[in-house]
Amino acid sequence: MFRHLLAESWRHFKKRLWLKLLICVGLAAGMTFVLSGVRALAGIAQSAEVMEAVTGGLPFGLFLLVAFTPVLAPVTEEIVFRHVLFYKFKERKALCALTCVGSAFLFGAIHYNNFGGNLLLTVPYMVIACIYNLLYLFTKNIWTSTMTHLIFNFAQSVIPALMIPLIVLFNAGA
């Protein structure tokens, strides 16, 4: 359904691909700081408490498999939340602002169950969704927000999941 959008955007994105991917890595790192900052401002627990709530005591192999799921979601989420619910309204300023906030709220809301039904824990993701919206708006390329989202999700899910055995080994030796 959005094959043309993705193909056309990819033709432009792949020009100077390594530079654009490096920029997306930097943006994803910035998103990590935004996430931590919004959590701190909202008084939301950090790292260990959140990790315990997220893993729910799953065996490591299953947790690692589940950790890869967020890496698969960005293409669909970017098309739905960035393109369909936001970018299509870019020409009308007031509507663009409204859809920026509305799509960000909906983006956070779909992550509601990821945090045990705690809406407050989705607020940082609503802020990040607004940033993804602005990335798409200013670059006019869906792949910038998609790659940034993918790298961010990878850094937030897969890398911590891979670190669990190292943490366990380190704690066992202490």
Digits of tens for pLDDT over the chain (174 positions)? 788 988 999 999 999 999 999 998 888 888 888 888 888 888 876 655 555 555 555 555 666 666 667 777 888 899 999 999 999 999 999 999 999 999 999 999 988 887 778 888 889 999 999 999 999 999 999 999 999 999 998 888 777 777 776 766 676 665
Residue 88 lies in a domain: yes
Residue 4, domain member (yes or no)? no
Pick from 35, 119, 23, 114: which is nearest to 67 by CA? 114
Both tokens of residue 109?
Answer: 């809301």
pLDDT at position 64 = 62
Residue 72's domain comprises 18-173
Query: Taken in order 156, 53, 43, 165, is the CA torsion positive or negative?
Result: negative
Residue 2 lies in a domain: no
Q: Is residue 7 part of a domain?
A: no
Model pLDDT, residue 173: 61
Question: Hey, what are 153's tokens?
Answer: 């999700």
Is residue 148 situated within a structural domain? yes
So what's the pLDDT on residue 148? Answer: 94
* CA nearest to 83, candidates 15, 14, 137, 138: 137
Residue 31 pLDDT: 85
128 and 31 in contact (C-beta within 8 Å)?
yes
Predicted local confidence at residue 141, as pLDDT: 94
Report the distance separating Cα 84 and Cα 123, nearest Å: 21
Query: Which residues, 6 or more positions from 174, have their beta carbon under 8 angstroms from its beta carbon?
Result: none
Q: Give the pLDDT score at 52.
A: 58
What pLDDT shows up at residue 113? 82
Name the pTM for this structure: 0.76
Asked whether residue 3 is assigned to any structural domain, the reply reads no
Q: What is the pLDDT of residue 99?
A: 96
When divided into structural domains, the chain yields a total of 1
Q: Does 91 map to a domain?
A: yes
Look at residue 13 and tell me if it is in a domain. no
**Whole-number Å distance between alpha carbons of 135 and 87:** 11
